[in-house]
Amino acid sequence: MGSIMKSLMVFVLLLTAVMTGVTKPNNDREFILKFGIQPLNTLSRKSEGNNVSFNTKIGFSAGFEYFQYLNNIAALGLGAMYDFPRKAIDNDNDDDSISFVPLFAAVKLRTPAQGLDNDNTFMFCSGRIGASIPIISGLSDGAKQKPGFYCGAGIGFNINYIVIEAIYAINNFSVSGDFGKNDFDCQTISLYAGFKFK
């Protein structure tokens, strides 16, 4: 699944570069505060030939994004999210929970091809790539967590100052200690509602 996401990100970046070259400049900017629910969270652990996957409980997330439009269609931006702590469904230890802080660069492609001043209702697709900082409780003594790669893709729509978006994302991280090194992937589907400032 990770190779699919990387291929999708390369496609979105190339498409953004093409759209930037063929359309006129635009001064539109967006600052978006977002709040969401994550109904699907799957955590996979890989360690020396032993792969284990399990679901976590429903999660919640909040954050912000800033976009600068390069033209009437394509925008580049930066963002940060905080995925609130959630527990594994099959884990009886109440002290164990996991959360993430993704920090990312993003691209957005919108339609129709009018500026925000002309049309405040449009659909869009987006891609994001960056780093994922894990926050894990209940680690054994001496264990260390390391940030990893973050990527995501979304689709949504904008109505005036309201933004609704669905995002599929992957957070990678690792934990090392006396037990060796474990690599983790956390795949999430998030449903966001946001408020846009211009």
Average pLDDT of the chain is 80
Sign of CA dihedral 4, 188, 110, 63: negative
Q: Which residues of 64-83 are buried (b: 16+ CB within 10 A; e: fewer)?
A: ebbbebbbbbbbbbebebbb
* Residue 91 to residues 110, 152, 176, Cα–Cα distance (Å): 42, 27, 20
Distance (Å, rounded) from C-alpha 154 to C-alpha 193? 13
pLDDT at 19 over 60: no
- Contact criterion met (CB below 8 Å) for 106 and 128: yes
Give the pLDDT of residue 45: 75
Give the pLDDT of residue 118: 54
For 135, counting Cβ atoms within 10 Å of its Cβ (0-12 exposed, 13-18 middle, 19+ buried), the class is: middle
Residue whose entry in the numeric block shows the structure tokens 């091809």 = 113
Mean predicted confidence (pLDDT) in 29-48: 85
pLDDT at 117 over 60: no
* Residue 61: its H or E element: strand 59-69
Domains belonging to the chain, first-starting first, are 2-197 (2.40.160.20)
Give the pLDDT of residue 89: 58
The structure's pTM equals 0.78
For 31, counting Cβ atoms within 10 Å of its Cβ (0-12 exposed, 13-18 middle, 19+ buried), the class is: middle
